Amino acid sequence: MNTLRFRLAVLVGIAVTLATGLGVTLIGFGKAGEYAGGALYACLIGLLILLILPRMKPLLLLASTAGVCWAVEFFQLTPWPAEWAEQSFLARLVFGSTFHAPDLLPYILGAGLVAAVHAWTRRGPLPEAAP
């Protein structure tokens, strides 16, 4: 798969993940919805990473996706995300508002899912981009 087709596929994945995540967030499904939302958030982060770095190896993708998600979660221990969440719905979606340790597990699951799909669909290294 060439880099352009790969990025287009990732963009479709991002759109589907965003729509699903917003649906889960806006409709609400209780605790299951919260955890599904966390896993979808991690999938979105992983897809954004792949959009920028399409040749990233799956294990590194898993680690970097989980690392970004955990960093955002631990950032919620500071006062800024809560302040931003009060002012903007988008900021609340991106940064959350309060630290919640049980959210850390769904991030790992979502990161693992996107890394597994990436590993499964990857057929050797992507070709170099044309000059």
- Measuring CA to CA, which residue among 52, 44, 43, 49 is closest to residue 64? 49
Residue 125 has pLDDT above 60, yes or no: no
Domain ranges, ordered by start, for the chain: 3-121
For residue 131, what pLDDT is reported?
A: 57
Q: Tens digit of pLDDT for each residue in 79-95?
A: 998 898 889 988 887 88
Report the range out of 8-17, 73-82, 117-126 with the highest average pLDDT. 8-17
**Under a CB-based contact definition with an 8 Å cutoff, are residues 107 and 66 in contact?**
yes
Residue 104 has pLDDT above 80, yes or no: yes
